[in-house]
């Protein structure tokens, strides 16, 4: 069976229901039921269809029913619930997923116990273990290897699995969550993973009650519990955006909560962090493709200048090496990039995804719930380090530093700890030094930031939690069983919940600027256009809208908004942008006019001068182009790139001697394929056909251009060559000869 088709059918059905296309959604539902294992679902479907047919008939006959809207809403909800049940039934019998294997094992044990259904908390398989734990004194901290500890660990797993795998919560789950909330027997990190279980269960099957439980955990839970609960609530509200308005009890509760400033700020922080996850892949790519290769190339220099063998034993005060500044002076680009990454890290960007992606192979991560367990110093993984000869004495500092560091998510902290055990002794010693320094730095950072940002701890915790979720969806062996929430546009700002929980104008303005700063121009554009309706005289908005269109290569729209901005406030920047848009649209004469206006306002601006030269070149006014290119050459005598258009202008004017001099100078640097073609043209015009063919050949075998691309360029230049005296009958012969000699 094609499971992916079933999942897509279900998604399509839900979309149709939200669009009030009920008949089409019922047709899909009927098709899904035909392949489901349970026969009861067909009866439920028939009842829904009959109710809808009757409602339609009453409406067509003009019969007024004051309850019609309520019945209609209830019917829509029934279709969604039944479709969820059908989807679960098909997946449980045909997917072979770990999720349903665990669920089926639990159901088998339950049936073997002689029970048929969980109605109250007393029906739970693990109720006796739960009661036993609740009776223990709070002061008891059992030995990790004791029987009590083993039972407790099993209890935590059973509670997690039950909350995660129960399709629809009832009295038993209500009581269980109430015990978790009100009993002080469960530690914060245990309550945290129970909260995640509710979130995951809600993704599996929609039920408003699950959202209300998350709200209760947010309002009444401990610090990290409430942070996870709200993150889970927001992810679910976005995931089920099309359903939210069909459940007034949910929207009313969210609207009521939104009256609280603290709740609105919490939502804003979480939404922004979810959106920031869009940067993760680009950051990982930048790290792998740009930074690490540059660091690898620097390695011999680093080893030589730092003299590691001698420095490490002597450098007792951990002083910075003064040679570092000199070492990086030849690598300014990488230094700037590292500074940029550090800044992004401080802002909550996920810069470690690629570094830890290959550290998820430990058995620890085969246990499903461990992808979501918060890091805490007393975890059994930390206990294992105590037995390490080198790491053992520094375990407390190591665990404390990891626990407090805000820059690494929980999942990666466990990865790092598990990996430490397998490092060579020298690296273990070095890592302990690093963590001691980290702990000192974190204490200082906490002292500095404690009074300036009241939401600092909240921001750190939800950042780490959302990064844990990101790793689960991207790296876990169970990822195929979940719809990845971190794909696509992640336009959470367009969801119903966002409108309910935020001051739309203020929040969207902040998000728009964030998107703009991160080059997510299509997202920024949507929000800027909405703002422009409210602020029709805001010149900066028009400039930003125009720039977004420019970056999307929609120069018609860019030009329109640049001109609107110019009408309000005439700036050199805007004038040049109008010139750029006109030039991209092929309006070269008008573009030239705007660049000349910009030059009048800023006569010393070399960038404007070169754009004027380009415009004259576009207009084939080579004499005028040369004047401006010479002005650039005069101001930038060491710039070899300016030689390229000068050489071409001389060539186009038939001044071959001057052109050849400039091409000779250009040859001191690296020639491009286009340079070789133009030099070939020059040789051809001077009667040196064999040299011309050799240059054409070099342009192709360089790999920059294919044969077909070369042919297009040559065809475009044909008119110019003939105007400069080349015999048109020679051109096809030269091309054929070229094709013969290229292997």
pTM of the model: 0.79
Task: Supply the pLDDT for residue 447.
Answer: 59
Q: How does DSSP assign 481-542, residue by residue?
A: GS--TTSTT--GGGSHHHHHHS-HHHHHHHHHHHHHHTT-HHHHHHHHHHHHHH-TT-HHHH
- Burial of 708 per CB tally in 10 Å (0-12, 13-18, 19+): exposed
Structure tokens at 435: 């963590």
> CB under 8 Å to 599, separation ≥6 — which residues?
605, 608, 609, 612
Q: What is the pLDDT of residues 173-216, one digit of tens each?
A: 999 999 999 888 899 999 999 999 999 999 999 999 999 999 99
Return left, alpha or beta for 490; rule: phi > 0 is left, psi -120 to 50 is alpha, else beta. left
Q: What is the pLDDT of residues 48-98, one digit of tens each?
A: 999 999 999 988 888 888 888 999 999 999 999 999 999 999 999 999 999
Phi–psi pair at 367, nearest 5 degrees: -85, 115
> CB under 8 Å to 479, separation ≥6 — which residues?
472, 473
3-state DSSP call for residue 728?
A: coil
Is the CB of residue 210 less than 8 Å from the CB of residue 202?
A: yes
Structure tokens at 81: 């619930």
User: Helix %, strand %, coil % for the chain, to 5?
Assistant: 75, 0, 25
Task: Supply the pLDDT for residue 78.
Answer: 96
Q: Of 644, 678, 675, 656, give the one whose Cα is nearest residue 724.
A: 656
The distance from CA 543 to its chain's CA centroid, rounded to whole angstroms, is: 26
Q: What is the pLDDT of residues 664-710, one digit of tens each?
A: 998 888 888 999 999 999 999 999 999 999 999 999 998 888 888 99
Q: What is the enclosing helix (H) or strand (E) of 248?
A: helix 248-257
> CB under 8 Å to 619, separation ≥6 — which residues?
588, 589, 592
Cα–Cα distances in angstroms (integers) from residue 122 to residues 117, 126, 197, 657, in the given order: 11, 9, 20, 98
Is the CB of residue 540 less than 8 Å from the CB of residue 553?
A: no
Task: Supply the pLDDT for residue 157.
Answer: 94
- Burial of 233 per CB tally in 10 Å (0-12, 13-18, 19+): buried
End-to-end alpha carbon distance in the chain = 51
Q: Low-confidence residues of the chain, pLDDT below 70?
A: 114, 137-142, 283-348, 386-387, 392, 394-395, 435, 438-451, 503-504, 743
d(CA 118, CA 120): 6
Look at the block and give the residue holding tokens 């004027």.
612
């Amino acid at each position: 069976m094609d499971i992916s088709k079933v999942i897509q059918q279900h998604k399509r059905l839900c979309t149709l229901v939200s669009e009030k296309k009920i008949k089409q959604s019922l047709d899909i539902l009927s098709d899904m039921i035909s392949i489901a294992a349970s026969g009861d679902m067909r009866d439920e479907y028939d009842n829904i269809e009959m109710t809808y047919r009757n409602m339609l008939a009453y409406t067509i006959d003009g019969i007024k029913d004051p309850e019609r809207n309520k019945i209609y809403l209830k019917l829509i909800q029934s279709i969604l619930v039944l479709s969820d049940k059908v989807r679960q039934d098909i997946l449980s019998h045909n997917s072979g997923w770990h999720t349903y294997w665990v669920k089926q094992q639990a159901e088998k044990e339950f049936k073997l116990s002689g029970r048929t259904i969980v109605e109250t908390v007393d029906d739970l398989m693990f109720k006796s273990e739960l009661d036993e734990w609740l009776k223990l004194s709070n002061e008891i901290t059992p030995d990790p290897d004791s029987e009590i500890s083993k039972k407790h660990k099993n209890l935590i797993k059973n509670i997690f699995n039950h909350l995660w795998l129960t399709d629809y919560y009832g009295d038993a789950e209500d009581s269980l969550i109430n015990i978790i909330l009100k009993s002080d027997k469960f530690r914060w990190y245990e309550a945290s993973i129970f909260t995640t279980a509710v979130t995951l269960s809600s993704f599996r099957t929609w039920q408003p009650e699950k959202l209300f439980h998350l709200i209760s955990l947010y309002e009444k839970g401990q610090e990290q519990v409430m942070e996870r609960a709200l993150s889970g609530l927001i992810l679910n509200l976005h995931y089920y955006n099309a359903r939210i308005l069909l459940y007034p009890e949910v929207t009313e509760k969210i609207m009521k909560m939104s009256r609280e400033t603290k709740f609105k700020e919490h939502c804003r922080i979480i939404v922004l962090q979810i959106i920031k996850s869009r940067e993760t892949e680009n950051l990982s790519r930048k790290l792998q493709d740009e930074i690490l290769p540059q660091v690898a190339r620097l390695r011999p220099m680093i080893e030589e200048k730092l003299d590691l063998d001698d420095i490490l034993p002597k450098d007792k005060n951990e002083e910075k090496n003064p040679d570092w500044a000199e070492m990086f002076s030849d690598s300014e680009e990488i230094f700037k990039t590292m500074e940029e990454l550090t800044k992004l890290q401080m802002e909550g960007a996920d810069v470690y995804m690629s570094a830890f992606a290959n550290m998820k192979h430990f058995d620890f991560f085969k246990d499903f719930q461990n992808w979501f367990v918060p890091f805490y110093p007393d975890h059994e993984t930390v206990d294992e380090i105590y037995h390490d000869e080198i790491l053992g004495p520094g375990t407390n500092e190591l665990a404390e530093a990891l626990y407090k560091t805000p820059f690494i998510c929980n999942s990666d902290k466990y990865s790092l700890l598990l990996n430490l055990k397998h490092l060579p002794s020298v690296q273990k010693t070095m890592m302990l030094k690093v963590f001691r320094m980290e702990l000192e730095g974190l204490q200082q950072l906490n002292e500095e930031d404690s009074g300036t940002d009241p939401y600092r701890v909240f921001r750190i915790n939800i950042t780490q939690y959302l990064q844990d979720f990101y790793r689960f969806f991207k790296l876990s062996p169970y990822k195929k069983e979940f719809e990845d929430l971190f794909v696509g546009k992640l336009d959470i700002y367009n969801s119903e919940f966002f409108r309910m929980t935020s001051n739309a104008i203020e929040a969207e303005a902040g998000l728009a600027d964030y998107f703009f700063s991160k080059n997510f121009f299509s997202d920024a554009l949507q929000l800027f256009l909405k703002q422009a309706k409210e602020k029709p005289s805001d010149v900066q908005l028009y400039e930003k809208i125009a720039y977004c269109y420019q970056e999307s290569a929609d120069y018609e729209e860019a030009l329109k908004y640049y001109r609107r901005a110019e009408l309000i406030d005439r700036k050199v920047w805007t004038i040049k942008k109008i010139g750029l848009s006109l030039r991209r649209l092929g309006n070269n004469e008008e573009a030239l006019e705007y660049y000349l206006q910009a030059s009048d306002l800023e006569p010393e601006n070399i960038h404007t001068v070169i754009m004027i030269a380009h415009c004259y070149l576009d207009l084939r006014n080579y004499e005028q182009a040369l004047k401006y290119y010479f002005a650039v050459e005069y101001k930038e005598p060491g710039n070899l790139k300016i030689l390229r258009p000068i050489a071409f202008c001389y060539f186009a004017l038939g001044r071959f001697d001057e052109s050849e001099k400039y091409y000779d100078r250009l040859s001191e640097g690296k020639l491009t394929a286009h340079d070789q073609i133009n030099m070939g043209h020059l040789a051809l015009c001077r009667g040196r056909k064999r040299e011309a063919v050799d240059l054409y050949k070099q342009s192709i075998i360089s790999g920059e251009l294919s044969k077909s691309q070369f042919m297009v360029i040559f065809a475009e230049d044909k008119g110019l060559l003939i105007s400069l005296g080349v015999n048109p009958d020679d051109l096809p012969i030269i091309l054929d000869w070229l094709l013969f000699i290229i292997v």
